[in-house]
Amino acid sequence: MDIDFVITWVDMNDLKWQKEFAAYSGKIDNSKNEVTEARFRDHGLLKYWFRGVEKFAPWVRKIHFVTCGQKPEWLDTSNSKINLVNHKDYIPCEFLPVFNSSLIEIYLHRIPGIAEHFVYFNDDFFLINHTPQERFFVDGVATDIAAFRSNLGFSLWSKCLKNNIRLINRHFDKKEVFERDREKWLNPLYGKKARLNYLLLPYRKFITLRTPHNAQPYTKTLFNEVWGEVGKELTEMSSNRFRSRKDYTQELFRTWQICTGNFVPYNTYADTKMFPLLIRSRQAVKAIQNQSYKLVCINDNEHIRNFNQVIENVKNSFESILPEKSGFEL
């Protein structure tokens, strides 16, 4: 089975990008979630993403490297597995330029040449141990965890997740879904992560699902189905060049995939971990060095103290497990 990877990246030091960014936003503002420095800066760790793919998932068919026309100077674009994708190649031109990652993500199925089965990565998601195809797809069906979580937050992201769930409840009946796929929602593989599933059995509505912040498997068929049902809403949000409280996110597609029953139960938390560098940089370094998981997220924050030193420590941990240049580097 052909499986592609998709990764999005931006270089905020690029002068052309800075000019376009300034024309629409004014400036980087760390008091506003949608335009913080952490949302756009490059950590200098991208080469370890490519090294990890080559070493730990050599089976990948194609890597679609999505940017606004940028590329790292060290990237060997002659590698047959790399497909450079410009936003204008798949996002309608009336919505460009775009600085909203949620918007960049909802059009992924339109990337020219993308396989039916693909895995989406942010540029802070890394493979650090051997990862078979079956980690993402079993017999062509995506693996995932169907587990509720409380969403009482008031952040921009929490608001967007609530927007997703409103659409989900409009198109799916929770009672019908649970009757059809009870063994998938109440699967023992999830352990304590699915406690709310049992507690909320009498409740008639879906709430936000747990969102393992890491690489996510999708199909083009799924994206086309969601667009066929809620294309009006997705098109309306496409005018938001920056993140907005009115956005929908890729979690809409993930939750839709789960609600259709088109997934294989898998406790993704068993081999996936997110490390917020603001509070868990030491744990991140240790996990990478020990290869404690298959996938890790090295989550940035604009308020990290000693940022350069923290990133240097993380870089050294990657170097300890991935010291050799990959075939994606010049």
pLDDT at 286: 98
SS3 138: strand
pLDDT at 34: 60
The Cα–Cα gap between 285 and 317 comes to: 6
Position 33 confidence tier, pLDDT thresholds 50, 70, 90: low
The Cα–Cα gap between 255 and 240 comes to: 22
Residue among 101, 50, 68 nearest 243 (CA): 101
Residue among 198, 218, 217 nearest 148 (CA): 198
> Residue 266 gets which letter from DSSP?
-
What is the arithmetic mean of pLDDT over 152-181?
A: 95
Residue among 122, 175, 126 nearest 285 (CA): 126
pLDDT per residue over 61-102, tens digit each?
Answer: 999 999 999 999 999 999 999 999 999 999 999 999 999 999
pLDDT per residue over 203-229, tens digit each?
Answer: 999 999 999 889 999 999 999 999 999
Cα separation values, 216 from 5, 67, 75, 261, Å: 10, 19, 24, 16
The Cα–Cα gap between 244 and 242 comes to: 6
Position 304 confidence tier, pLDDT thresholds 50, 70, 90: confident
pTM for the predicted model, two decimal places:
0.95
CATH 3.90.550 fits 3-321, yes or no: yes
What is the arithmetic mean of pLDDT over 132-144?
A: 98
pLDDT at 30: 65
The Cα–Cα gap between 124 and 281 comes to: 13
* 38 pLDDT higher than 70: no
Task: Please state the length of the chain.
Answer: 330
| Phi, psi angles (nearest 5°) of residue 219 | -130, 155
Instruction: Give the other-Cβ count within 10 Å of 280's Cβ.
Output: 16
Residue 214's region, left for phi above 0, alpha for psi from -120 to 50, else beta, is beta
